[in-house]
Amino acid sequence: MGLSGVPVAAETIALHTIFELMRATGVRVHLCRLSSAAGVALVREAKREGLRLSCDVSINSLHLIDGDIGYFDSRARLNPPLRQQRDREALQAGLAEGTIDALVSDHTPVDEDAKALPFAESEAGATGLELLLSLSLKWGAQRGLSLAQSLAPICSGPAKVIGPSLGAQSEGVGRVQVGALADLCVFDPAAAWTVGADSLRSQGKHTPFSGYELPGRVRYTLVGGRLAFRAT
């Protein structure tokens, strides 16, 4: 495409280094934003080996490929960069089978001036927080998963990742049960919405999903049992 590349080797070399350090020290590691099929394969083998490892993938890498850059649309200038279709397929399968523990928004809002530049010179990043639920539902529908399975990578999956660092406070995190922390999102899975500047509350309006119609409209958000957001 005529752009300076960030090859898959940049990811796999880093993974090999991290795994060697884990073997030497016994440390627990979480890997952020896996982006390649080769990376998924390495993580799978490392987990089989028994390394104390978890990882996540961003909504961008889970749904998009390098071809979605189109005519060098700076909204698709991301870090890590978008890779090939086989990488996306491996990431989707890895998330479904549990090799990848969590799905993240990779919310990195960028202002108008930083994106209004030629692709290679623009700032990497995109708004994503408001898209996480809908893109998790979209992935689940594509894989033929149940609602609970579709939501696990953004609910119970992350809770398991952060649980060891919370100690006794981890009890009830990521679960709906009596006495648990009431961090809840109430949404309508059948309601669709269109991604656009008018529909995003984030200060950053740039996302490669602009114009997409997505499932799942949030009605209420509760934090610690208190109403934090109500849809208008």
Cis peptide before 208 (omega within 30 of 0): no
**What's phi and psi for 23, nearest 5 deg?**
-65, -35
Angle, helix 8-25 to helix 37-49, in steps of 10 degrees: 10
Q: What angle do CA 9, 120, 209 make, to 5 degrees?
A: 85
Q: What radius of gyration do the chain's Cα atoms show?
A: 18
Q: Alpha helices, DSSP H only, in the chain?
A: 8-25, 37-49, 59-63, 85-97, 112-115, 132-143, 147-151, 156-166
Instruction: Clarify whether 111 is annotated catalytic.
Output: no
For the chain, the maximum distance between any two Cα atoms, rounded to a whole number of angstroms, is 56
Phi, psi of 174 (to 5 degrees): 80, 10
C-alpha 69: how far from its chain's center? 18
Q: Which one of the listed residues 56, 87, 101, 106 is annotated catalytic?
A: 106
Residues annotated as part of the active site: 106
